[in-house]
Amino acid sequence: MPKQAVIERIYVWDKFIRLHHWLIAILIPVNGWLLTGGDDVHRWTGYLLAALVSARIVWGFIGHGAALFSQFFPTPQRVLHYLCHYRNPHSPLPSGHNPLGASMALLMLSLIFALAITGWLMGTDAYWGEDWLQNLHSNIFNILIICATIHVSMVILHSLHLRINLPRAMLTGYKNRTNASRRLETKAELKR
């Protein structure tokens, strides 16, 4: 496939979103695989992750552009439209998350929050030493890792398909629009 010329560089991800994304991407595997469950550092890292998710929820209402939930919340209509028109080079693509990416992002945020809640509960008198809760906590982590693996895989595939370096966009905040990816910010997106 020939390399496409860059038509335009657009600002998509603000500093908060980028910092939030990379902190979570680093802290989840560190907390799950490198730190000992139940120790103070593991627990406080879990609290930090819960605070990051809470801050992201707030930012989803008061932020701007692609960070707003109203801009990317995956309604059934948006998902169906995206799936039906994905291969059409003239159909619109959102500048931020597509509906499937948004679904995964919201699922992973929910799983992180569930990890924090179950981790906190394991330290309370009422649930101390409960095997079912420890198993639930571990299973949520495993599901989160599966979701993160799918997320990274789809980012790579989507980057190749659209000829846009999505990981770089999450580092710099900017996406390059090319002939193959110019389907951004159209009337259909503005109607949402």
pLDDT in tens, 42-70: 999 999 999 999 999 999 999 999 999 99
pTM: 0.84
Highest mean pLDDT out of 33-37, 71-75, 94-98: 71-75
Q: Return the pLDDT at 78.
A: 87
Name, in order, each residue with C-beta under 8 angstroms of 175's C-beta and a sequence gap of 6 or more.
Answer: 9, 10, 12, 95, 164, 166, 169, 181, 184
Q: Return the pLDDT at 158.
A: 85
Helix, strand and coil in the chain, % to nearest 5: 70, 5, 25
9 three-state secondary structure: strand
For the chain, give every domain's residue range: 15-190
| CA–CA distance, 122 with 69 (Å, rounded to integer) | 32
Task: With CA atoms as reference, report the closest residue to 13 among 164, 165, 171.
Answer: 171
- Specify the CATH architecture of the domain 15-190: Up-down Bundle (1.20)
Angle, vertex CA 46, rays to CA 54 and CA 100, nearest 5: 55
pLDDT in tens, 151-173: 999 999 988 887 888 999 999 99
Task: Determine which of 70-74, 78-82, 84-88, 149-153 has the lowest per-residue pLDDT on average.
Answer: 84-88
